[in-house]
Amino acid sequence: GAVVSQHPSWVICKSGTSVKIECRSLDFQATTMFWYRQFPKQSLMLMATSNEGSKATYEQGVEKDKFLINHASLTLSTLTVTSAHPEDSSFYICSARDHLGVVDTGELFFGEGSRLTVL
């Protein structure tokens, strides 16, 4: 299957700093990537949909200025948590769809996730 690489796998930062998480599709082009947040023993909550070359679409309740998303190329989307605080500590997961030309398999491929701990 297609591979999505997410980096870093885990990061610890001080309160007030910004953290950037990268999501790369390694062997396919992803015009759309999704960013999720997951709290322990809970499901994935969609934060935003990242579209290559355009602004991300944020879900209700997600602060755009807090969680900056950039999708500058067909293989890379980044999530920057700005001025991080302890309540931002969470597991962040990206996913991408493999658009095979005009045929979309529909399957989502996930990165391994990034665990953010804000002290």
Partner 1 sequence: SQQGEEDPQALSIQEGENATMNCSYKTSINNLQWYRQNSGRGLVHLILIRSNEREKHSGRLRVTLDTSKKSSSLLITASRAADTASYFCATDNYGQNFVFGPGTRLSVLP
Residues that bind partner 1 (CB under 8 A): 1, 4, 6, 34, 36, 41-46, 49, 60, 91, 93, 95, 97, 104-113, 115
Least distance (Å) from partner 1 to the CB of residue 43? 5
Q: Which is nearer to partner 1, 40 or 86 (CB)?
A: 40
Q: Which is nearer to partner 1, 62 or 68 (CB)?
A: 62
Q: What is the 3-state secondary structure (H, E, C) of 43-60?
A: CEEEEEEEECCCCCEECC
Least distance (Å) from partner 1 to the CB of residue 83? 26
The CA-CA-CA angle for residues 21, 22, 25, to 5°, reads: 150
Q: Which is nearer to partner 1, 29 or 82 (CB)?
A: 29
Least distance (Å) from partner 1 to the CB of residue 73? 21
Residue 51 CA to residue 29 CA, distance in Å, equals 12
Q: What is the largest distance, in Å, between two alpha-carbon atoms of the chain?
A: 46
Given the structure tokens 């755009």, which residue do they identify?
64
CB-based contact 81:116 (threshold 8 Å): yes
Least distance (Å) from partner 1 to the CB of residue 104? 7
Measured from the Cβ of residue 101, the count of other Cβ atoms closer than 10 Å reads: 5
Q: Which is nearer to partner 1, 59 or 83 (CB)?
A: 59
